[in-house]
């Protein structure tokens, strides 16, 4: 099984997309990089039965500060050399910080996307 890292930020319809992505696969563990609002409200709005952990960030931080926060939230918690990554949600600053943190952790990244045919690696 694979670990999924997904950004859960702003964007119309992205929460439902991320929830469906989580539910379509038997992930080892799911890490959602989000803000306090996402942590407090995502599972209330979307019924999920998965092993989900939140990495809470403040999107107002600078990119280096975001990278540091994500590193702190993930360090020592992924027992693999590669992760599946979905960044459908969020903005360029958050995307940059997530990808930078994963690479600094020495992890390989496989981008995953949800399509009508299922989960693919574009």
- Asked whether the predicted pLDDT for residue 44 surpasses 80, the reply is no
> pLDDT tens-digit profile of 62-105?
999 999 999 999 999 999 999 999 999 999 999 999 999 999 99
State the average pLDDT for the chain: 93
Total number of domains constituting the chain? 1
Q: Tell me, what CATH number does 107's domain have?
A: 3.40.50.10770
- Per-residue model confidence (pLDDT) at position 10: 77
Q: Which domain holds residue 85?
A: 3-120
For the entire predicted model, the pTM comes to: 0.93
- Are 66 and 57 contacting, i.e. CB atoms less than 8 angstroms apart? yes
């Amino acid at each position: 099984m694979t670990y999924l890292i997904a950004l859960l930020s702003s964007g119309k319809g992205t929460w439902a997309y991320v929830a469906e992505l989580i539910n379509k696969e038997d992930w080892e563990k799911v890490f959602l990089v989000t803000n306090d609002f996402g942590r407090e409200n995502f599972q209330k709005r979307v019924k999920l039965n998965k092993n989900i952990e939140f990495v809470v960030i403040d999107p107002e931080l600078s990119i280096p500060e975001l990278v540091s926060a994500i590193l702190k939230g993930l360090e020592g918690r992924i027992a693999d050399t590669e992760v599946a990554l979905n960044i459908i949600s969020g903005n360029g600053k958050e995307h940059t910080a997530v990808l930078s943190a994963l690479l600094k952790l020495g992890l390989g990244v496989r981008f995953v996307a949800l399509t009508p045919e299922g989960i693919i690696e574009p």
